[in-house]
């Protein structure tokens, strides 16, 4: 019997699925975010296979021109890439803003389905690489340092896993690099921010009723 997931199954970041890709399960999607229209494919059964989730939307809302035109990141990591919406949004944003210094983007996930979907969606971009990894434990990341890391962690995986995202991400920041983070208020946002303050410099960018956005910076 072919080893495929059923339509009702959902693969989350923290589930190390090795199910093969079924091409028939790709679904064309149109995502709108901050005036940008992004065409991509979702994958049936992959977590958040529909429109952009609201936490990622809030996170991207706080990335502005200064991020690219003043800080000039040359290396970016999407930590927990899902279907690849963040790398696609970055490329669309750079094109719209006529940003000529295009960064290299790594996108990683623990799910083979997520990595395959991101690779499928970003295959036309030579500057985007996908990596299968449990957070940043793969050998590929051993000597990697990033100017910018963007993450919407898998809160359903629990506080310990989420904090590993922050800890490992911080370890892979270049000097002066930033890790942009988001957390729902009801998923220990204050606690996560307090933890980040124990490992680096924290700037809270936005505080709303339901969510908080901050960045963790390495000096």
| Cα 156 to the center of its chain, rounded Å | 15
Determine the 3-state secondary structure of 58 from DSSP: helix
Read off the pLDDT of residues 22-58 as tens digits, 9 standing for 90 and up: 788 888 989 888 889 999 998 877 765 556 888 898 8
Q: Band of the pLDDT at 124, cuts 50, 70, 90?
A: very high
Assess contact for 136 and 79: CB atoms under 8 A.
Answer: yes
Read off the pLDDT of residues 152-174 as tens digits, 9 standing for 90 and up: 998 888 899 999 999 999 999 99
Read off the pLDDT of residues 182-197 as tens digits, 9 standing for 90 and up: 999 887 899 999 999 9
The domains of the chain, with CATH numbers, are 53-217 (3.40.50.150)
The helix/strand count (H/E) of the chain reads as 6, 9
- Highest averaged pLDDT of the listed ranges 12-26, 98-112, 127-141, 152-166: 127-141
User: In Å, what is the CA distance from 26 to each residue of 46, 86, 120, 132, 193?
Assistant: 10, 18, 10, 19, 36
- The position carrying tokens 């989420």 is 162
Assess contact for 110 and 132: CB atoms under 8 A.
Answer: yes
Q: Supply the pTM of this predicted model.
A: 0.89
């Amino acid at each position: 019997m072919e080893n495929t997931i059923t339509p009702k199954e959902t693969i989350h970041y923290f589930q190390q699925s090795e199910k093969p890709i079924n091409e028939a399960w790709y679904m064309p999607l149109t995502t709108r975010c901050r005036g940008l229209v992004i065409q991509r494919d979702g994958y049936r059964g992959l977590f958040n296979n529909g429109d952009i989730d609201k936490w990622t939307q809030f996170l991207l809302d706080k990335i502005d021109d200064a991020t690219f035109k003043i800080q000039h990141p040359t290396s970016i990591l999407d930590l927990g890439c899902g279907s690849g919406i963040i790398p696609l949004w970055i490329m669309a944003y750079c094109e719209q803003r006529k940003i000529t210094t295009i960064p290299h983007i790594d996108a990683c996930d623990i799910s083979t389905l997520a990595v395959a979907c991101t690779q499928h969606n970003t295959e036309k971009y030579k500057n985007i690489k996908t990596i299968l990894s449990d957070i940043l434990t793969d050998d590929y990341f051993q000597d990697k340092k990033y100017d910018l890391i963007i993450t919407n962690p898998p809160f359903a995986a629990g506080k310990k896993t989420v904090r590993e995202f922050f800890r490992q991400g911080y370890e892979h920041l270049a000097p002066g690099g930033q890790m942009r983070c988001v957390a729902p208020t009801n998923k220990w946002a204050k606690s996560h921010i307090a933890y980040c303050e124990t490992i680096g410099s924290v700037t809270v960018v936005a505080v709303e009723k339901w969510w908080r956005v901050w960045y963790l910076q390495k000096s």
